[in-house]
A and B are shown apart, each in its own frame.
Chain A
């Protein structure tokens, strides 16, 4: 997803994520709420997209997709 972003956003996000992974970087980010928010949102998106994490929270993406495909095939949907 980051790779699909235009280069200014891509570069900024990579820098933010790198900072967020280091204690001193995280402290620096905490002083810029907007930057901290962007970094933590991106990290959270990745972390909670893990199928095991999702299933533990009652969300099974594979089952949702499988049901969709089965419905499309059974009913001749596009």
Chain B
């Protein structure tokens, strides 16, 4: 068995883990970061959706929930985690959500206390608003519709630098413009001497006299690895963190572990326009309409190359072929529901089983959203509208089984709650009843946000890191990502094994 010693062992190199690892390492802590997946070299990005789904996503992008309806839940895997394959949309946690967290979960996370965390993350990721030119014609269609209807809208903020609108954010950015954690925080962590080990499948947390003291993992080559550390931070993502807690034999006094899963279920519609749209030219997710956010419905841009569009287009047979022949004139827009439905994650034979049923309230939100989407496309001048419903079905009469849903934002399976009887972690993301064990991913987020969650996760991770360092979050700029290539190399892994 190989062994490593550290002050802090972080598990997972996505939105939460990468941030914690970099901030702690730069603060002087000895950090070991374990990642189950690989480092993905951008030279291997081909802009081919099926190839990249197989390469960059967990389970080939074919994770799916069981329930009514089944929902595709694609998750990134590897250095950068889902930040490598998301759309890069950056929203701060809405104030109304923070107020709810204080009211219902006793969390002292107000706008003022989180502001330094958000500002620090936004500087580290070069967050800025997409320009209309870069957004492309697909966003222009939605903007035209929203303006004609008088709906509240805007261009999204994203973590991108030097973006040229390649149109394949979800399939590996070929220009490395998207500032995912694999090219921002991870190089900083490596430059600050964090030991980064890829291909490390963590089996359990080591617990001694009731406190976390490290983790035990299996390396890609088959060797066992034990990391001993004063503190352990789990950031394996909303689906896998509760399962790792369970595998570790930790008591769950709240009974909430694996429960309260929110997903932000989403779908997308298409419209045939008179003009050339070329939806994959520009930033796929660059524009939003928040007119119905208070009703739990957010409309956001979505687009992609022909293979992706063909997969998502809600038509079959001859109608599908006819619409695809006019791909250059197709526009697409998505809708996302801030869900009240709650699911559950369990492990059966070592695999996560995700149960999630859409509740009537959310079904009603989808009916509203689909009707609004059709209205939007018509107002923009669409010749035909293809809603994600079976032929002949209308939004107002849609049933759960009619919907073709995907979800990208799993949250809440180890929710934070100030009370140990109601949540898995406290407001400081420390696991109730297990000193030295902390969580830093979407699992701690106690409710749906109604907006893309990466900034919330990163801000909470920043707060956790500085809390472990015993420091306030500084107002100064974070370190720039090192100019040299600081990827976690095979040599690092070999060094760790030797």
Task: Tell yes or no: B53 within 8 A of A by CB.
Answer: yes
Could you jot down 26 A-B contacts, CB within 8 Å? A4-B57, A4-B62, A5-B62, A6-B63, A40-B316, A40-B317, A41-B311, A41-B312, A44-B320, A45-B49, A45-B307, A45-B311, A47-B310, A48-B306, A48-B309, A57-B306, A57-B327, A58-B276, A64-B47, A64-B168, A65-B45, A65-B46, A67-B164, A72-B42, A77-B177, A78-B176
In the bound complex, residues from chain B placing their C-beta under 8 Å from that of A46 are 50, 307
With A49-B48, A49-B49, A64-B174 known as contacts, the answer to whether A6 contacts B59 (CB < 8 A) is yes
Mark interface residues in B454-483 (1 if CB within 8 Å of A CB, else 0): 000000000000000000000000000101
In the bound complex, residues from chain A placing their C-beta under 8 Å from that of B168 are 64
Contact for B310 among A2, A45, A65, CB less than 8 A: A45
Contact for A2 among B60, B320, B390, CB less than 8 A: B60
Q: Whole-angstrom distance between the alpha carbons of A49 and B63 in the complex?
A: 21
Flag if A78 contacts B42 (CB, 8 Å): yes
In the bound complex, residues from chain B placing their C-beta under 8 Å from that of A36 are 316
Contact for B306 among A2, A34, A54, A65, CB less than 8 A: A54
8 Å CB contacts to A: which residues of B418-469? Answer: none
Flag if A68 contacts B174 (CB, 8 Å): yes
Mark interface residues in A4-15 (1 if CB within 8 Å of B CB, else 0): 111001000100
A28: min CB distance to chain B, Å:
14
**Residues of B that sit less than 8 Å from A by CB:** 42-43, 45-51, 53-54, 57, 59-64, 69-70, 162, 164, 166-168, 173-177, 183, 187, 276, 278, 280, 305-314, 316-317, 320, 324, 327-328, 351, 390, 401, 404, 481, 483, 485, 487
Task: Place the interface of chain A in its size category.
Answer: 35 or more
Besides the contacts A49-B49, A57-B324, A65-B174, what 8 more A-B pairs have beta carbons closer than 8 Å? A48-B309, A59-B305, A61-B46, A61-B48, A64-B168, A69-B43, A78-B42, A78-B487
B171: min CB distance to chain A, Å:
9
Task: Tell yes or no: A31 within 8 A of B by CB.
Answer: no
Contact for A3 among B45, B54, B183, CB less than 8 A: B54
In the bound complex, residues from chain B placing their C-beta under 8 Å from that of A3 are 54, 60
Nearest opposing residue in chain B for A7, CB measure: B351
In the bound complex, residues from chain A placing their C-beta under 8 Å from that of B46 are 61, 65
Q: Which 10 A-B pairs have the closest CB atoms?
A: A68-B174, A4-B60, A44-B310, A49-B307, A48-B310, A5-B62, A61-B47, A1-B54, A68-B175, A77-B176
In the bound complex, residues from chain B placing their C-beta under 8 Å from that of A23 are none
With A6-B351, A67-B174, A78-B176 known as contacts, the answer to whether A40 contacts B404 (CB < 8 A) is no
Q: Whole-angstrom distance between the alpha carbons of A2 and B65 in the complex?
A: 17
Flag if A49 contacts B175 (CB, 8 Å): no
Contact for B485 among A47, A57, A71, A78, CB less than 8 A: A78
With A5-B60, A40-B320, A57-B328 known as contacts, the answer to whether A45 contacts B42 (CB < 8 A) is no
Q: Whole-angstrom distance between the alpha carbons of A61 and B48 in the complex?
A: 7
Flag if A65 contacts B47 (CB, 8 Å): yes
Flag if A54 contacts B307 (CB, 8 Å): yes
A29: min CB distance to chain B, Å:
10
In the bound complex, residues from chain B placing their C-beta under 8 Å from that of A67 are 164, 166, 174-175
Flag if A5 contacts B59 (CB, 8 Å): yes
Q: Whole-angstrom distance between the alpha carbons of A2 and B313 in the complex?
A: 20
Flag if A78 contacts B166 (CB, 8 Å): no
In the bound complex, residues from chain A placing their C-beta under 8 Å from that of B48 are 49, 61
Flag if B45 contacts A44 (CB, 8 Å): no
Flag if B64 contacts A61 (CB, 8 Å): no
Flag if A54 contacts B60 (CB, 8 Å): no
In the bound complex, residues from chain B placing their C-beta under 8 Å from that of A65 are 45-47, 174
8 Å CB contacts to B: which residues of A15-74? Answer: 33-34, 36-37, 40-42, 44-49, 53-54, 57-59, 61, 64-65, 67-69, 71-72
Q: Whole-angstrom distance between the alpha carbons of A41 and B314 in the complex?
A: 9
In the bound complex, residues from chain A placing their C-beta under 8 Å from that of B483 are 76
Nearest opposing residue in chain A for B353, CB measure: A8
Nearest opposing residue in chain A for B173, CB measure: A68
In the bound complex, residues from chain A placing their C-beta under 8 Å from that of B401 are 33-34
Flag if A71 contacts B47 (CB, 8 Å): no
B27: min CB distance to chain A, Å:
23
Q: Whole-angstrom distance between the alpha carbons of A74 and B317 in the complex?
A: 45
Flag if A58 contacts B278 (CB, 8 Å): yes
Q: Whole-angstrom distance between the alpha carbons of A35 and B404 in the complex?
A: 11
Contact for B175 among A40, A47, A59, A71, CB less than 8 A: A71
In the bound complex, residues from chain A placing their C-beta under 8 Å from that of B57 are 4
Q: Whole-angstrom distance between the alpha carbons of A76 and B485 in the complex?
A: 10
Nearest opposing residue in chain A for B165, CB measure: A64
In the bound complex, residues from chain A placing their C-beta under 8 Å from that of B317 are 40
Q: Whole-angstrom distance between the alpha carbons of A13 and B167 in the complex?
A: 28
Flag if B59 contacts A9 (CB, 8 Å): yes
Nearest opposing residue in chain B for A13, CB measure: B62
Flag if B59 contacts A44 (CB, 8 Å): no
Q: Whole-angstrom distance between the alpha carbons of A3 and B60 in the complex?
A: 8
